Amino acid sequence: MEAKRSYRTFDKDFKINAVKLVLEGSRSMTKIANEIGISPNTLTNWKKDYLKDKENSFPGKGYQKPDDAELTRLRRQLARVTQERDILKKAIAVFTKQGE
């Protein structure tokens, strides 16, 4: 039986502060990662995410970036409208058969 792997979570402020240490450039990314107890790859990914969109980086667990939230909303709306259209098509088919 395999043991469940637990993942550590870090809050937004921790990630931003770690990335800012890297951006200062006084120490290497590997050294900073070791000092704060994370993998250098993790720190590299945080840096990429932060530089891509500083305002909306690290939205947190269960939250989405504004663009992703809008996309999710539009997908739900499309699914609802498609379902309504299909229902209307079926209703039209039923009523045209009854009228014959």
Q: What is the pLDDT of residues 13-72, one digit of tens each?
A: 899 899 999 998 888 999 999 999 999 999 999 999 889 887 778 766 666 777 777 898
The architecture (CATH level 2) of 10-61 comes to Orthogonal Bundle (1.10)
Residue 60 vs residues 12, 65, 67, 92: alpha-carbon distances, Å:
7, 9, 15, 46
Domain boundaries, the chain: 10-61, 64-100
What is the token pair recorded at 66?
A: 């504004």
| pTM of the complete model | 0.56
State the pLDDT at residue 57: 80
Answer whether residue 85 shows pLDDT above 80.
Answer: yes
| 19 close to 50: Cβ distance less than 8 angstroms | yes
Q: Can you tell me the distance from the alpha carbon of 63 to that of 69, in angstroms, rounded to the nearest whole number?
A: 8
